[in-house]
Amino acid sequence: MNGTHKPVHLAVYDTLADWETGHATAHLARAGYTGRTVAPTTAPVTSIGGLRVQPDLALADLRPEDSSLLVLPGADLWDTGDDLAPFARTARAFLAAGVPVAAICGATAGLAREGLLDDRRHTSAVSFYLAATGYAGGERYVEADAVTDRGLITAGPTEPVAFAREILGLLGVYEGEVLDAWYRLFHDSDPEAYAVLEKAGAA
């Protein structure tokens, strides 16, 4: 493992969608990335599945220069008020500093409200979900499982494996046919993909 990587920061907040980031965080950890959770405060939060998470740090203490990536999962709170708007503002700071951001499900709507999707290719659950935010980036919406554009990854709630593929590719954990095989194994249960990963020492 490479111990030189800066940590990957996973945003956690009440009602966060448990299933959306597991593939990414597990395989980043296997590649030597330390995962750290960041929340509105250091008080425990509860996921939509009822899991209680004790955050590593508060959002106010997170700096882009200390991170390899900020991951923003979906959560009911993205669509019920402005509680999570500070995370979208932090995403803006990360992108401005050249540090990538990955947003899935409801987090894409939060970034749309922040204006971060106005000039980037992106995707989400469906186009009209983002259109309801009133954002100006509708012409750049892409019907795809996941999209990466200038350091920003977006995906819909049914695509946690594609979301992870984009993250692993962006950070250089897997590339080329190995990255493709990883996706085929975990998305399609393709046994031939496992052979490719095993040969590459990535299984």
**Interatomic CA distance for residues 102 and 124, integer angstroms:** 12
**Interatomic CA distance for residues 142 and 51, integer angstroms:** 33
Q: DSSP assignment, residue 139?
A: G
Decide if 60 contacts 40 (C-beta within 8 A).
no
- Please give the C-alpha separations between residue 76 and each of 44, 47, 83, 144, 200, in angstroms, as whole numbers: 17, 10, 11, 23, 39
Catalytic residue among 8, 39, 70, 105: 105
157: three-class secondary structure by DSSP: coil
Cβ atoms within 10 Å of 109's Cβ, excluding its own = 23
Alpha helix locations (H) across 42-101? 85-96
**Residue 93 a catalytic site member:** no
Q: Which residue has the tokens 């995370």?
A: 87
Active site positions, annotated: 105
